[in-house]
Chains A and B, each alone.
Chain A
Amino acid sequence: MLKLFNNKKINNKNIPETLSKSLDKNIDTFKNIFSSDDTVIFRNIKNLYDKDFKACLIYISGMISSETVNSNIIEPLMNINFKETENSLILDTLKNKVISSCEIYECETIDEITVNLFNGSTVLLIENFEKSLVISSNGYKERAIIEPDSERVIRGPREGFTESLLTNLSLIRRRIKTPNLKFKFMKIGRITNTKICISYIDSIADSRIIDELEKRLKDIDIDGILDSGYIQEIIKDSPASPFKTIGSSERPDSIAAKLLEGRIAVFVDGSPLVLTLPYIFMEYFQSNEDYYLNYYYASFNRMLRVFGAFLSVSVPAVYVALMTYHQELIPTPLLLSIAAARQNVPFPTIFEVLGLLLVFEIVRETGSRLPATIGQTISIVGTLVIGQAAVEARIISAPVIIIVALTGITELLIPKLMSAMIIIRFILLILSSILGLYGYIFGTIGIFIHIFSIRSFGVPYMLGYGSIKPQDIKDTFIRAPWWYMIYRPNLIAKKNLIRQSRKSGDK
């Protein structure tokens, strides 16, 4: 069963590959294919004027809009008068003159018909024809276009992607109105047959990256794709790295902005998260809102995010290193108050920090999956039990609570980077508990060597970090004003770098 569609055969029950002339035989074929599937409806149709006309409509209930099928397909089919039409031209007449549907085509292979049925099309089989008509009629329920919860903004468009591929494409098309915007469809998943769309702007995107992406996508051989996360993980560079080398967003405006910078988007049917690539490290810190707000404020926010990421990764490790190896580096009054707080605490500092960080992660993970109604319980348990009671019972010293709280808050500053930060934080923490500040520094050096060595589709991950040219750092730690963003990011949009031309004399 696994190799179902790969072998171009529905199954091994002697099913023909193409349609035959006999309507009954064809119906039997499909009944055979969809045996024990009662959602597939076979609707026999006869004509008011022509007693010999026999046809059958096949569709899957729930996937079609019954209004469309009733009024645009069934009604004209029943009421048409074929008397003046030659028998051999019936199919043509139906296709071109009778059935009013925006998308209709002839199809003879059983495989293709089946797949179209699953996409919500209606199939019309007619006696004496080896071809069928596939009529687009899909009308399944979709989620409305609402603001995505994961990426809220104060200023900016509020639309978010839905689970429907075509709706998502339309959201992009509405923003970028040029024939240069290309959408290429693919199908991945032996069983799920998931539709995937590669989108890019032809005049900007690097064709070599597109070729590489297509090659990697074609190489995927998996039973099913249920979310874009599957693809993200399968085709990414440096698969063992905790860092993302393919980005994702739920917001059409940020995907459109990435397309304009020469990136390529991958839409996956059934997933509101659209992938973009190549993805560089700085994109973690960029928010689409940065580009809509005042650039001073946006730059400040961006530096805050970078600083927050640094703090979140370093604070516990540095605290442990200072407390257990380098007490001479702590200012005397601070040392005295921490020493007082640590009196009678039974555990070593490293276990205190490690344990409390784990508890924090547990509280966070619990809270993120809980129904909203019992979510409050977690915050009570978190603050009262862990925060206050543990300190009063002298199981944990108060400074550690502050350290873990700071770590936790700064971790939530960049939700996208969270998974990488958690791993790095624990690595650095353990290193600095073994070697003190040396351990922390070695760990940091290691991480920097790693992120400077990886690439995303041939583009260096740390693009722009080594440069001091104003045009290279215009969109890194700062967000330069729009009138200064003359060029697109180097190396990503090599082909077409000029983003805006300046009027002469306006320099």
Chain B
Amino acid sequence: MKFKRALLISIIFNCLFLSGCWNYREIEQFSIVSGLAIDKSENKYILTAEIIESTGGRDAKTSTKLISSEGLTIFDALRNMIRYPGKKLYFSHTKVIIISSETAKEGMIPVLDLINRDIEPRYTMKILISKNIEAKKILEAKSNSEIFCYTLDDMIDAQKNLSAAPEVEVWEFINDICKEGISASLPIVTLEMINDKSTPKVEGTAVFKGDKLIGYLNGKDTKTFLFIKNKIKGGLLTKKVDIDNNSANISLEIFGNKTKISPKFENGKLLIDISTDTDVSIGEISGDLDFSKEEIREKIKSYFEEELENQIKDLIKKLQTEYDSDIFGFGSTIKIKMPSLWKEIEPKWDEIFKTVDVNVKSKINIKNTAYTSKPIKIGD
């Protein structure tokens, strides 16, 4: 009995204390990667990582460094990268992945497989497509000592108030690729020269078909696209309005929006009803319009409603004819709302999408007029 107990204790002791610390690592033993850029040339992946370096002591400072390596696969390239900082790279705090449009055109699955498989990278990382430029160049545009990729991450967050680019996280993108009846879309990053300095700019949408990049939407179309996807969080609606021979440029600030997509099957024809319901406030009227009168407000509303309806119709037409890619997810909406119909049309959805009729109804509610109740008028 005593022997057995001693044996048991020694086994437990050995398991706990002699097995080593399988996952033990000190914080300074690895390099934190803040962001990753992926390019492809001649069948080899070129990876560029921004790693954070910190100097200790009283006035601790963090700086960043770019390192590059290439490999046959992403993993291969990543492992090759260890040579340069002499430390293992750590991806749990990576926030941004930039993929060049050239790489994306050849397919995203080989790029994303490792990210999907490995435990370190988070599914909440944001993906960006660098349009017509090497992804590496975007990281190189960093100007000061800030951690560039975290700044980029903040920039994407700030897009909410502009609605010029969608915000897509890795899990969302992978989901969209896998799901039936929806095509994936990603935000675009480009470089712009400001004061002789190239500065990154996040605007526009990259349109995918399957896992391959097939086209782009500009910033304005992106806003319309986000309207259809019910992902508008903010932004402005601006338009020149003519009412009773008074013309004015009006900006409406979007506070909230609700878009409903409801497919209908009537007389053997598929019809998709899109209705948007937007809460706005009058943000600015650069002209002489008395918005305190209800009929003028009604007119303003109808102008904008019409414009939004047209924009939505145009964008859908564009996708149907030019790209033939259902990034709005009409198919998956049908699948949810009319599953039996979806079973029938699923094999030929690509064909049907091109010709599907869309009915758009927009509604704009002016909730307030901000701080003023009267326009500024020149006195007599």
Mark A residues whose CB is within 8 Å of B: 323-325, 327-328, 332, 335-345, 348-349, 392, 394, 397, 433-436
Assembly CA distance A28 to B55 (angstroms): 88
Contact between B93 and A328, CB atoms less than 8 A apart: yes
- Contact partner of B57 (CB less than 8 A), chosen from A327, A335, A343, A435, is A343
Assembly CA distance A341 to B92 (angstroms): 20
Interface size, chain B (Cβ < 8 Å): 26
Contact between B54 and A327, CB atoms less than 8 A apart: no
Q: Does B347 contact A (CB under 8 A)?
A: no
Assembly CA distance A349 to B29 (angstroms): 12
Contact between B23 and A340, CB atoms less than 8 A apart: no
Which residue of A is nearest B55, CB measured?
Answer: A343
Q: In angstroms, how far is the closest chain B Cβ from the Cβ of A339?
A: 5
Contact between A327 and B27, CB atoms less than 8 A apart: yes
Contact between A339 and B21, CB atoms less than 8 A apart: no
- Contact partner of A341 (CB less than 8 A), chosen from B23, B25, B26, B60, is B60
Which residue of A is nearest B62, CB measured?
Answer: A336
Contact between B120 and A328, CB atoms less than 8 A apart: yes
Contact between A436 and B23, CB atoms less than 8 A apart: yes
- Contact partner of A340 (CB less than 8 A), chosen from B61, B90, B92, B122, is B61
Q: In angstroms, how far is the closest chain B Cβ from the Cβ of A136?
A: 57
Cβ < 8 Å to A, chain B residues 47-79: 52, 54-58, 60-62
B-side contacts of A324, CB under 8 Å: 21, 24-27
Q: Give the 9 A-B CB pairs with smallest separation, nearest first.
A: A343-B56, A340-B60, A328-B92, A340-B54, A342-B28, A332-B93, A339-B27, A344-B56, A339-B54
Contact between B56 and A342, CB atoms less than 8 A apart: yes
Tell me whether A344 and B57 are in contact in the complex, defined as CB-CB below 8 angstroms, given that A327-B90, A335-B93, A336-B52 are known contacts. Answer: yes
B-side contacts of A344, CB under 8 Å: 56-57
Q: In angstroms, how far is the closest chain B Cβ from the Cβ of A277?
A: 33
Assembly CA distance A345 to B55 (angstroms): 11
Q: Does B3 contact A (CB under 8 A)?
A: no
Contact between A340 and B62, CB atoms less than 8 A apart: yes
Which residue of A is nearest B25, CB measured?
Answer: A324
Mark B residues whose CB is within 8 Å of A: 16-17, 21, 23-28, 32, 52, 54-58, 60-62, 90, 92-93, 95, 120, 122, 150
Q: In angstroms, how far is the closest chain A Cβ from the Cβ of B35?
A: 12
A-side contacts of B93, CB under 8 Å: 327-328, 332, 335
Tell me whether A323 and B92 are in contact in the complex, defined as CB-CB below 8 angstroms, given that A328-B120, A343-B56, A392-B58 are known contacts. Answer: no
Contact between B32 and A345, CB atoms less than 8 A apart: no
- Contact partner of A336 (CB less than 8 A), chosen from B24, B26, B32, is B32
- Contact partner of A348 (CB less than 8 A), chosen from B17, B26, B56, is B26
- Contact partner of A325 (CB less than 8 A), chosen from B24, B28, B58, B122, is B24
Assembly CA distance A397 to B58 (angstroms): 10
Tell me whether A434 and B17 are in contact in the complex, defined as CB-CB below 8 angstroms, given that A323-B26, A323-B27, A332-B93 are known contacts. Answer: yes
Tell me whether A343 and B92 are in contact in the complex, defined as CB-CB below 8 angstroms, given that A325-B23, A328-B120, A337-B60 are known contacts. Answer: no
Contact between B27 and A394, CB atoms less than 8 A apart: no
Which residue of A is nearest B60, CB measured?
Answer: A340
Q: In angstroms, how far is the closest chain B Cβ from the Cβ of A229?
A: 32
Q: In angstroms, how far is the closest chain B Cβ from the Cβ of A5?
A: 40
Which residue of B is nearest A397, CB measured?
Answer: B56
Q: In angstroms, how far is the closest chain B Cβ from the Cβ of A105?
A: 58
Q: In angstroms, how far is the closest chain A Cβ from the Cβ of B207?
A: 31
Assembly CA distance A14 to B133 (angstroms): 114
Which residue of A is nearest B20, CB measured?
Answer: A434
Which residue of A is nearest B91, CB measured?
Answer: A328
Assembly CA distance A128 to B311 (angstroms): 129
Question: 10 A-B Cβ contacts within 8 A?
Answer: A327-B93, A328-B120, A336-B32, A339-B27, A339-B32, A340-B55, A340-B62, A341-B60, A342-B28, A394-B56
Assembly CA distance A323 to B25 (angstroms): 8
Q: In angstroms, how far is the closest chain B Cβ from the Cβ of A294?
A: 45
Q: In angstroms, how far is the closest chain A Cβ from the Cβ of B16?
A: 6
B-side contacts of A345, CB under 8 Å: 28, 56
Assembly CA distance A323 to B28 (angstroms): 10
A-side contacts of B24, CB under 8 Å: 324-325
B-side contacts of A392, CB under 8 Å: 58
A-side contacts of B55, CB under 8 Å: 340, 343
Q: Which of A332, A394, A435, A436 has the most CB of B within 10 A?
A: A332
Assembly CA distance A435 to B17 (angstroms): 10
Which residue of A is nearest B59, CB measured?
Answer: A340
Which residue of A is nearest B15, CB measured?
Answer: A434
A-side contacts of B32, CB under 8 Å: 335-336, 339
Which residue of A is nearest B153, CB measured?
Answer: A332
Assembly CA distance A328 to B122 (angstroms): 9
Which residue of B is nearest A431, CB measured?
Answer: B16
B-side contacts of A335, CB under 8 Å: 27, 32, 93
A-side contacts of B16, CB under 8 Å: 434-435
B-side contacts of A323, CB under 8 Å: 26-27
Assembly CA distance A340 to B95 (angstroms): 20
A-side contacts of B52, CB under 8 Å: 336, 339
B-side contacts of A338, CB under 8 Å: 27
Q: In angstroms, how far is the closest chain A Cβ from the Cβ of B63?
A: 10
Assembly CA distance A87 to B247 (angstroms): 137
Contact between B27 and A342, CB atoms less than 8 A apart: yes
Which residue of B is nearest A344, CB measured?
Answer: B56
Assembly CA distance A341 to B28 (angstroms): 9
Q: In angstroms, how far is the closest chain A Cβ from the Cβ of B269?
A: 51
Which residue of B is nearest A338, CB measured?
Answer: B27
Assembly CA distance A338 to B57 (angstroms): 11
Assembly CA distance A324 to B56 (angstroms): 18
Assembly CA distance A337 to B62 (angstroms): 8
Q: In angstroms, how far is the closest chain A Cβ from the Cβ of B85?
A: 13
Tell me whether A394 and B23 are in contact in the complex, defined as CB-CB below 8 angstroms, given that A335-B93, A342-B28 are known contacts. Answer: no
A-side contacts of B90, CB under 8 Å: 327
Contact between B27 and A349, CB atoms less than 8 A apart: yes
Q: A324-B27, A343-B56, A349-B27 are in contact. List 16 more A-B contacts (CB 8 A).
A: A327-B92, A327-B93, A328-B122, A335-B93, A338-B27, A339-B52, A340-B54, A340-B60, A340-B62, A342-B26, A342-B28, A344-B56, A345-B28, A349-B26, A397-B56, A434-B16
Q: Which of B16, B61, B93 has the most CB of A within 10 A?
A: B93
A-side contacts of B62, CB under 8 Å: 336, 340
Which residue of A is nearest B16, CB measured?
Answer: A434
Contact between A340 and B56, CB atoms less than 8 A apart: yes
A-side contacts of B56, CB under 8 Å: 340-345, 394, 397
Q: In angstroms, how far is the closest chain A Cβ from the Cβ of B145?
A: 13
Q: Which of B17, B92, B95 has the most CB of A within 10 A?
A: B92
Which residue of A is nearest B58, CB measured?
Answer: A392
Assembly CA distance A323 to B24 (angstroms): 9
A-side contacts of B58, CB under 8 Å: 392
Contact between A343 and B21, CB atoms less than 8 A apart: no
Which residue of A is nearest B52, CB measured?
Answer: A336
Contact between B92 and A336, CB atoms less than 8 A apart: no
